[in-house]
């Protein structure tokens, strides 16, 4: 045996040390970010209180920005515009202690995006929580606003079977009623093969759209029952739910009979592939469109932990969704006043 091959064979496992270094770097980054956000909060509070007490006018903020630029030439981020953003940052969240804890877990750019693009306090809190939970990059956060995630979640709650609600209540916070796959650039008329291959080709994008903790297991995953061979479209594993997630694709409108095949796959996964420490497999039927009443009827008697969702090949009309959300809030307000 050569000296090289011996060295390669005897090479100790350094992965634990690499993990410790990576964790320390992440902790250091988070500590620096928390300190920076706390500084911006304190500066914003100082400016806000001075202006409220009529000790300062807006012009004093201009003078402060110039003073810092001269006396602290290496200091970044304290322009006139940013100082006013710090004031807005503080005044927006000063009375919300629960939300203010989330702010310090996100970079300043994320906070500015959420502050500038959200129209309601509920929307701000939603994106703050999701950005922390999903660890979105700045670009991905911008995309979630563009796809109107908040409006879609509020207006169209995810439709799941009663079994899934009972056995995995956290699944309601994991899955969505609709998934935007505009990154596939599919033609209006497309086949199931087009959709399938597109998702595989853009798997990283699809995983981001699915959400954090999804791990890809396989495509056309082989399932053998009796003497027959079947192929499940897509199989994932969700670490948080500790369960396999089977996704069946349909390029037409949801039909009740679609659910039967999905249930069949879930039974096969649980009997032949699920490990002892895992929860029962979850099924997702991803369709081009669906009638919510038909979905409700189909899921009401289902004994499987399953859900029906639709995919959208184009970005949703955000203005239309915002108008519907406004109607939703007004309706709830009127109902609350009538009680």
Q: Cα(first)–Cα(last) distance of the chain, in Å?
A: 84
* 311: β partners: 179
Categorize the per-residue pLDDT at 98 as very low, low, confident or very high, splitting at 50, 70 and 90. Answer: confident
Tell whether the torsion through CA atoms of 64, 96, 128 and 150 is positive or negative.
negative
pLDDT at 102 over 60: yes
Query: What is the chain's Cα-based Rg?
Result: 25
- C-alpha span between 295 and 288 (Å, rounded): 13
Give me the mean pLDDT over the 55-73 stretch: 87
- Quote the longest CA-to-CA distance of the chain: 86
pLDDT at 147 over 90: yes
pLDDT at 3: 47
Give the DSSP letter of residue 218. Answer: E
Chain-centre distance of CA 1, in angstroms?
51
Distances (CA, A) of 93 to 19, 100, 112, 203, 328: 36, 6, 13, 37, 24
pLDDT at 63 over 60: yes
Place of tokens 């927006």: 92
């Amino acid at each position: 045996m050569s000296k090289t091959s011996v060295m390669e064979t005897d090479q100790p496992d350094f992965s634990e040390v690499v993990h410790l270094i990576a964790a320390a770097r992440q902790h250091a980054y988070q500590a620096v970010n928390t300190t920076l956000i706390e500084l911006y909060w304190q500066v914003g509070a100082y400016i806000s209180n001075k202006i409220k007490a009529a000790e300062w006018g807006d012009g004093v903020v201009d003078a402060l920005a110039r003073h810092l630029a001269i006396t602290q030439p290496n200091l970044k981020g304290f322009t006139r515009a940013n100082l006013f953003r710090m004031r807005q940052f503080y005044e927006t969240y000063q009375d919300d202690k629960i939300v203010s804890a989330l702010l310090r877990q996100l970079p300043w750019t994320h906070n500015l995006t959420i502050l500038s693009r959200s129209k309601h306090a509920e929307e701000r809190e939603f994106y703050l929580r999701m950005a922390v939970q999903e660890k979105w990059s700045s670009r991905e956060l911008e995309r979630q606003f563009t796809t109107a995630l908040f409006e879609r979640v509020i207006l169209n709650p995810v439709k799941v079977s009663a079994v899934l609600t009972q056995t995995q209540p956290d699944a309601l916070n994991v899955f969505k009623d609709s998934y935007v796959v505009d990154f596939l650039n599919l033609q209006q008329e497309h086949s199931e093969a087009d959709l399938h291959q597109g998702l595989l080709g853009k798997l990283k994008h699809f995983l981001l759209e699915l959400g954090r903790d999804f791990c890809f297991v396989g495509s056309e995953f082989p399932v053998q029952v009796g003497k027959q061979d079947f192929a499940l479209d897509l199989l994932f594993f969700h670490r948080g739910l500790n369960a396999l997630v089977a996704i069946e694709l349909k390029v037409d409108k949801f039909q009740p009979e679609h659910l039967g095949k999905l249930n069949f796959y879930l039974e096969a996964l649980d009997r032949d592939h699920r490990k002892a420490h895992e929860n029962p497999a979850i099924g997702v039927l991803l369709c081009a469109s669906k009638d919510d009443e038909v979905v409700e009827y189909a899921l009401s008697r289902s004994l499987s932990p399953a859900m029906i969702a639709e995919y959208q090949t184009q970005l949703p009309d955000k203005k239309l969704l915002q108008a519907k959300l406004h109607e939703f809030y007004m309706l709830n307000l009127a109902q609350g006043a009538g009680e």
